[in-house]
Structure 1
Amino acid sequence: MWLLSVLLPLVRLYLCGVKVLLYQLFNRSFTLPVLPKQNGRVAIVTGGARGMGFETARHLASLGMHVVIAGNEEDEGLAAVKKIHEEGSDGKAEFVFLDLASLKSVRLFVQKFKARGLPLHVLVNNAGIMLVPERKTADGFELHFGLNYLGHFLLTNLLLDTLKKSGTQGRCARIVTMSSATHYGGVLHMDDLQSRACYSSHGAYSQSKLALVFFTYYLQERLTAGGFPVTANAVDPGMVDTALYDNLCSPAQAAKKPVAKLLFRTPAEGASTAVYAAAASEMEGVGGWYLYNGQKTQSADVTYNTDIQAKLWKQSCKLVGLQEA
């Protein structure tokens, strides 16, 4: 039973990976259209100091946005800001510390941001970890679920009022959340969201990315019902050559290197759909989508189950200490 609980998530994850690689073998990466200038607009990009997060931040800054790079590595964040400014970007970039594995840090980040009186037009929930050994967050949550999902769940909810005030009916504020094709093989264990019964890094990662899709859809339903000028979409970047794969086991690392050179997307290519969701005119007023390679795509069938969406939302509120309303 234990072996099955560990092997099944691993097999599901790698099958998802093979399907993505086959797609990327026969299909070109999405090419961004010309995007409108974003002068005067403000964005927060979590994990914006490296990989796809950095490419997202630099592109939004090049469009004239004031981009807040939120991350837990100050030196890395400051270096990213320096690089963006050296490129002569039309916008502005800055680094602000945020540890998504700490609910206290999330609350402090939001408190500091709100104290500045800035609007917020785009929130990109990009940061994440993958296939790490069993560890817990500062609040005792399983790390994948706590950082990838719960940290972003709390961050988004605490910033919602600012997003609602910043959006207009003609130009909505936008929430872009980075999921993954691994969500197709994920299983949401409502009675064991912390993977305590039997830990599998593959299962924990897939579950966290699945939870983000549920969250996006339910959030959009709430925004639509309230008539708020904010949209929420989930993005699948494909398989991208970033540091996320550093936790693969040695044989998988060895196999990945030649495959990555041939078939993986670059960080800039992986970020393109997130940038599109954040800034494209075609995405104005569009919410509740799962976007892959620049196109609206069907996510896993289970993600459209509104009962599960509502249950996960309610349980997530309890876990992070939010009132459901």
Structure 2
Amino acid sequence: MSLLSPRAVPLLRVYCIGLGVILHQLRRRLRLRPRCPPAPVFPTQNGKVAIVTGGAKGIGYQTVKHLARLGMHVIIAGNSESEGQEAVRKIKEETLTGKVEFLYCDLASMKSIRQFVQQFRAKNCPLHVLVNNAGVMLVPERKTEDGFEEHFGLNYLGHFLLTNLLLDTLKQSGTHSHNARIITVSSATHYVGKLHLDDLQSRCSYSSHGAYAQSKLALVLFTYQLQHLLTANGSHVTANVVDPGVVNTELYKHVFWVVKMVKWMTAWLLFKTAEEGASTTIYAAVSPEVEGVGGCYLYNEERTKSAEVTYDEELQRRLWTESCKMVGISDESSRVP
């Protein structure tokens, strides 16, 4: 296959950005190691409720565990009952709290997402934090239950619909002094992503690397447009997007065998642990430093600049409008001046 083929270009871009992040992580680890900075101490979250998608494994699991330790009632939204219940059992043992539960939610199914929201609403409880964490990476070409390309359908559209269906509850739960928070997990691959509004399903020339990067780019655009709408409506809800870095999780099962081998030999040094990867998500969810602050791209607990294209307000609006059509909800952005 030619290096200039449509499939090879996204692959090279994704691996180049990944290598850059890994080298940055290594430099940062070597720089911080002599000082061993203490872990941040966050205020307790007693009485607050959070939903974490993909909370049974990896970054999501560590996020749930830390939020539960702070006293939050956390609901794991996942597509495996056995993994979800096992995660609940382990977190209860480790944190000595009973404020963790599992509810089934398959983000590759619009029907399942709507059923999850119905189940959650039946609890008649508030919602202070929504963490859009779940995702797939570099999966072979396949479709969701609703016929969407899987990266775009699960990583992006599933969270787009879930967030919109939960917005009313988030708005009712947020207050002037304690905003409800929406945290969406993207990645550095968004910097090399290309958004094709006329081919969001990647039908013309499928590349798992290109489709993955596009889904992560869409999540950043979605977050910025969501914050614009929340601000325009005077809602006490903030939306931020986080970049966990390159983390040692199970997401790499679809990469080339050579990459798997390199990861197996070097992850202990070059990759973040799942706990380290969750740190920015936890920071965005509970830190007083970001109270009332939205529309930010956060990396290593700091605000940083996302790709230039993500600040294109026209592209944000167009993606939002098209997404509303795809998931079958009304376009609230058309009502905002």
Q: TM-score, normalised by structure 2?
A: 0.94
Partner of 2:266: 259
Q: What amino acid is aligned across from residue 294 of structure 2 in structure 1?
A: G
* In 2, Cα distance between equivalents of 1:314 and 1:31: 44
How much has 1:31 moved relative to structure 2?
A: 6.2
Per-residue deviation, residues 242-273 of structure 1 (Å, max 9, x unmatched): 00011112122112222212110000000000
| Equivalent residue, structure 1, for 2:335 | none
Percentage of matched positions with identical amino acids: 62
Whether 2:64 is the aligned partner of 1:63: answer no
Provide the secondary structure at the position in 2 that maps to 1:27: helix
1:322 to 307, 329, 334: 329
The answer for the alignment partner of 1:8 in structure 2 is 9
Q: After superposition, give the CA deviation of every residue in 1:150-185 in whole Å (9 maximum; x if it has no partner).
A: 000000000000000000000000000000000001
Further displaced range: 182-191 or 87-96: 87-96
Match of 2:163 in 1: 156
- More displaced 10-residue stretch of structure 1: 84-93 or 195-204: 84-93
- The answer for the alignment partner of 1:25 in structure 2 is 26
Task: Return the offset for 1:233.
Answer: 0.3
Q: Which amino acid aligns with 1:136?
A: K
Contact 1:64 1:89 in 2 (8 A): no
Q: Specify the alignment match of 2:83 in structure 1.
A: 76
Residue aligning to 1:187: 194
Q: Which ranges of structure 1 fall in alignment gaps of 5 or more residues?
A: none
Letter in 1 for 2:325: K
- Residue number in structure 2 paired with 1:100: 107
**Cα displacement (A) at 1:143:** 0.2
| Partner of residue 218 from structure 1, selected from 225, 240, 246 | 225
Paired residue for 2:118?
111
CA distance in 1, matches of 2:14, 2:114: 33
Q: Aligned pair 1:143/2:144, yes or no? A: no
1:18 shift after superposition: 1.1
Cα separation, 2, equivalents of 1:59 and 1:273: 12
2:191 corresponds to which letter in structure 1? Y
User: Which consecutive aligned stretches of 4+ in structure 1 deviate over 2 angstroms post-superposition?
Assistant: 28-32, 88-91
Change (3 A) 1:211 1:171: same
TM-score (norm 1): 0.98
Contact between 1:217 and 1:288, CA under 8 Å: does it hold in 2? Answer: yes
